[in-house]
């Protein structure tokens, strides 16, 4: 898919020709890209679950609850696979095909059905794997499986025979609210988020329309969303990030930043923040940036006797910059969810991202100036050494300018920029002899896994969004909020607080996917700019990743540094947390911080 887009862009810019049916070919390839990795991702437990509630139970009970989630996933995926076979039959009989190349679509519906069947088998494998652990631990009481079997059977039965199991009449908005409450109940009981969305969508749509309507909705969403050309931007940027990481291009940035700021108090920590932000921006996800940066930065800071709390906190905080500085998966997901320009969102994040990075580094300098024991200054470097160090970071700078410059100048669409960026990362990594065949295979495998994780949620979030529109719940909520005697900015504050809380318990991407179909219409009714709001909610979701008591970035950091207590990392993060909220306040008070550059874009 990457090569197809690169060839198409090359032909267009050189000889003014296009690959015939290029968009249709990408759409067909997307179906394979999105679904082929879902089963593997389930086997390595890569799909998103929220374990905040179940972590309070004993290990045996927690394992049992996880098994219940696996059982529910098997049920909905089996129904979905069967319905996609029916959908393929309809397409075959109606001779449904693509517009230009006239490629029949029914084989691709069958391919999705096959991949989802494998997906269901993967969850079944996980179920029996957990069961074997319980047996090995001597567990003899399996009565807790009865509620799981009952709930799974009841939800599926209510979806297929809604008139029998729910004969009472419930108003559509009320039923939509009930559906959302049940959705969050399933999510907090560790049902994979995508599976929870699929089963609630099927259940609610079956009640509001008909069982056949509910089945058709989730089947059509599986194929129509996966074959939408606009979504190709996600796997292409993910692949770019993985190639940058596997090509070890981030280490060069770390050395360069250290040459420039290392002589300052806490200079190594400041360099870590800058490098972590740069690498996380390339990868597009904060946790990936942390995992990639920590092995390089931590040994250096330990060697210079940095305070362990500051050393770990600056990496956790630095990773949050990655979802703000483009290319950013957070902006991609937001743009897709609300149908806003991803290119404008990318550009909108540049000034806030630079501002946040500079203020985080400034806070480190001030703290280490006051207390030199936190982080001593490193050796001074000459201007010549600083300039020479820029040679080492040319690869990442070239990729950044190629991608963002192409989008800003109106030369490339975000989809094309993702392909060009991924191809550029591949070429540079090979030219520098840093990418082995195994590294390339791992990059593609990890990109497929992350894509599968995101789109298992996203596909059925879109179906859920269609369902919410059907219930008119968002209109009722919008009218209710508009009728309150509450200032618009107070409502905005409540929404941003919600994203802060959600960021504490899950990754920013699922948080955005789940909530935006409900929140975005309300925000638009309040008259706020969608690009500006995108910057705010993405930042707040990331702030949640370093906020106690959960703070996923902090837990990831603590897992890599077991000798530093979790409490100490949280305490060291307080100044960074204050800086991030200060930047949010600045963007709220002065919207042009986010909107100035997008408003100057060519072809905006």
Confidence of residue 418 (pLDDT cuts 50, 70, 90): confident
pLDDT at 261: 84
334 and 452 housed in the same domain: yes
User: Which value, to the nearest 10 degrees, does the dihedral of the CA atoms of residues 196, 197, 200, 206 take?
Assistant: -140
With 80 as the cut, is the pLDDT of residue 323 above it? no
552 and 573 housed in the same domain: yes
pLDDT at 529: 93
- Residue among 577, 588, 575 at smallest CA distance from 545: 577
Tokens linked to 473: 């719940």
Q: Is residue 32 part of a domain?
A: no
Higher per-residue pLDDT: 90 or 282: 90
Q: How far is CA 168 from the centre of its chain?
A: 39
Residues 413, 236 contacting (CB under 8 angstroms): no
pLDDT at 56: 76
Q: Is residue 19 part of a domain?
A: no
Question: Which residue range forms the structural domain that includes residue 428?
Answer: 232-600
Higher per-residue pLDDT: 56 or 197: 197
219 and 237 housed in the same domain: no
Residues 343, 601 contacting (CB under 8 angstroms): yes
Q: Distance between CA 297 and CA 319 in Å, rounded?
A: 13
Average the pLDDT over 402-408 and give the result: 83
116 and 236 housed in the same domain: no
193 and 246 housed in the same domain: no
pLDDT at 143: 66
Q: Is residue 128 part of a domain?
A: yes
With 60 as the cut, is the pLDDT of residue 431 above it? yes
Q: Is residue 197 part of a domain?
A: yes
328 and 200 housed in the same domain: no
Higher per-residue pLDDT: 40 or 151: 40
Confidence of residue 604 (pLDDT cuts 50, 70, 90): very low
pLDDT at 482: 64
Task: Give the tens place of pLDDT for each residue, 47-82.
Answer: 878 776 777 777 777 887 888 888 889 988 998 999
DSSP annotation of 464 reads: H
Q: Is residue 30 part of a domain?
A: no
Query: Percentage of the chain surpassing pLDDT 70?
Result: 91
Please give the mean pLDDT across all residues of the chain: 83
- Residue among 145, 123, 128, 125 at smallest CA distance from 195: 123
444 and 555 housed in the same domain: yes
pLDDT at 311: 87
With 90 as the cut, is the pLDDT of residue 197 above it? no
pLDDT at 440: 92
With 90 as the cut, is the pLDDT of residue 592 above it? yes
112 and 242 housed in the same domain: no
Q: Is residue 20 part of a domain?
A: no
298 and 210 housed in the same domain: no
Q: At which of 206, 227, 248 does a domain end?
A: 227
173 and 241 housed in the same domain: no
Q: At which of 205, 227, 249 does a domain end?
A: 227
Higher per-residue pLDDT: 591 or 571: 591
Tokens linked to 109: 């519906």
pLDDT at 289: 63
Task: Give the tens place of pLDDT for each residue, 113-145.
Answer: 999 999 999 999 999 998 888 788 776 666 666
- Hey, which bits of 199-287 come out as E strands? none
With 80 as the cut, is the pLDDT of residue 260 above it? yes
Q: At which of 173, 203, 227 does a domain end?
A: 227
Higher per-residue pLDDT: 321 or 269: 269
User: Which value, to the nearest 10 degrees, does the dihedral of the CA atoms of residues 63, 68, 74, 76 take?
Assistant: -140
Average the pLDDT over 525-539 and give the result: 90
Q: Is residue 24 part of a domain?
A: no
120 and 46 housed in the same domain: yes
Average the pLDDT over 440-454 and give the result: 89
Contacts (Cβ under 8 Å, ≥6 apart) of 143: none
With 60 as the cut, is the pLDDT of residue 404 above it? yes
83 and 137 housed in the same domain: yes
pLDDT at 21: 87
Confidence of residue 562 (pLDDT cuts 50, 70, 90): confident
Q: Is residue 163 part of a domain?
A: yes
With 60 as the cut, is the pLDDT of residue 235 above it? yes
With 70 as the cut, is the pLDDT of residue 550 above it? no
Bond before 549 cis per omega within 30 degrees: yes
Q: Distance between CA 227 and CA 28 in Å, rounded?
A: 6
Average the pLDDT over 213-232 and give the result: 84
Number of compact structural domains in the chain: 2
């Amino acid at each position: 898919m990457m090569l197809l887009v690169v060839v198409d862009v090359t032909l267009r810019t050189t000889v003014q020709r296009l690959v015939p049916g290029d968009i249709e070919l990408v759409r067909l390839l997307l179906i394979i890209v999105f679904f082929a990795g879902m089963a593997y991702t389930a086997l390595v437990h890569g799909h998103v679950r929220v374990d905040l509630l179940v972590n309070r139970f004993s290990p045996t009970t927690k394992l049992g609850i996880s098994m219940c989630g696996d059982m529910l996933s098997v049920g909905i995926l089996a129904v979905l696979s069967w319905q996609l076979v029916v959908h393929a039959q309809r397409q075959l009989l109606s001779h449904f095909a693509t517009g230009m190349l006239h490629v029949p679509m029914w084989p691709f519906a069958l391919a999705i059905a096959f991949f989802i069947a494998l997906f269901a088998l993967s969850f079944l494998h996980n179920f029996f794997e957990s069961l074997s652990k319980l047996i090995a631990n001597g567990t003899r009481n399996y009565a807790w499986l009865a509620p799981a079997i009952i709930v799974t059977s009841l939800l599926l039965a209510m979806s297929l025979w809604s008139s029998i199991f729910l004969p009472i009449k419930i108003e559509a908005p009320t039923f939509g609210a009930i559906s959302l409450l049940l959705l969050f109940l399933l999510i907090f009981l560790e049902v994979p988020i995508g599976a929870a969305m699929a089963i609630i969508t099927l259940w609610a749509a079956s009640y509001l329309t008909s069982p056949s309507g509910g089945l058709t909705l989730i089947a059509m969403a599986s194929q129509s969303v996966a074959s939408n050309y606009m979504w190709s931007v996600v796997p292409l940027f993910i692949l770019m990030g993985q190639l940058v990481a596997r090509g070890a291009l981030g280490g060069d940035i770390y050395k360069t930043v250290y040459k420039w700021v290392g002589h300052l108090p806490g200079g190594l920590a400041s360099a870590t923040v800058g490098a972590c932000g740069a690498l996380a921006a390339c990868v597009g996800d904060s946790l990936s940036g942390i995992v990639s940066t920590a092995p390089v930065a931590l040994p250096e800071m330990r060697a210079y006797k940095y305070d362990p709390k500051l050393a770990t906190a600056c990496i956790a905080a630095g990773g949050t910059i990655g979802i703000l500085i483009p290319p950013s998966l957070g902006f991609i997901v937001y743009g897709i969810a609300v149908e806003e320009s991803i290119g404008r969102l990318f550009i909108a994040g540049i000034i806030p991202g630079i501002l946040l990075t500079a203020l985080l580094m400034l806070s480190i300098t001030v703290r280490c100036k006051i207390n030199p024991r936190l982080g001593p200054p490193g050796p001074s470097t000459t201007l010549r050494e600083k300039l020479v160090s820029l040679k080492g970071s040319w690869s990442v700078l070239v990729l950044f300018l190629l991608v963002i410059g192409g989008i800003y100048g109106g030369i490339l669409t975000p989809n094309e920029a993702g392909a060009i960026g991924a191809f550029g990362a591949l070429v540079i990594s090979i030219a520098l002899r840093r990418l082995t065949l195994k590294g390339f295979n791992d990059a593609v495998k990890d990109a497929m896994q992350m894509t599968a994780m995101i789109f298992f949620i996203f596909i059925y979030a879109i179906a859920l969004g269609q369902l919410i529109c059907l219930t008119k719940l968002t209109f009722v909520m919008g009218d209710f909020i508009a009728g309150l005697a509450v200032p618009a900015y107070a409502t905005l504050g409540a929404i941003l607080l919600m994203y802060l809380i959600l960021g504490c318990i899950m990754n920013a991407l699922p948080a955005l996917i789940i909530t935006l179909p409900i929140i975005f219409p309300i925000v638009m009714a309040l008259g706020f700019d969608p690009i500006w709001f995108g910057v705010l909610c993405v930042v707040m979701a990331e702030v949640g990743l370093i906020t106690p008591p959960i703070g996923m970035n902090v837990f990831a950091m603590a897992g890599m540094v077991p000798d530093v207590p979790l409490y100490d990392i949280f305490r060291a993060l307080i100044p960074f947390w204050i800086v991030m909220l200060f930047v949010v306040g600045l963007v709220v008070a002065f919207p042009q911080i986010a909107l100035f550059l997008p408003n100057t874009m060519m072809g905006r």
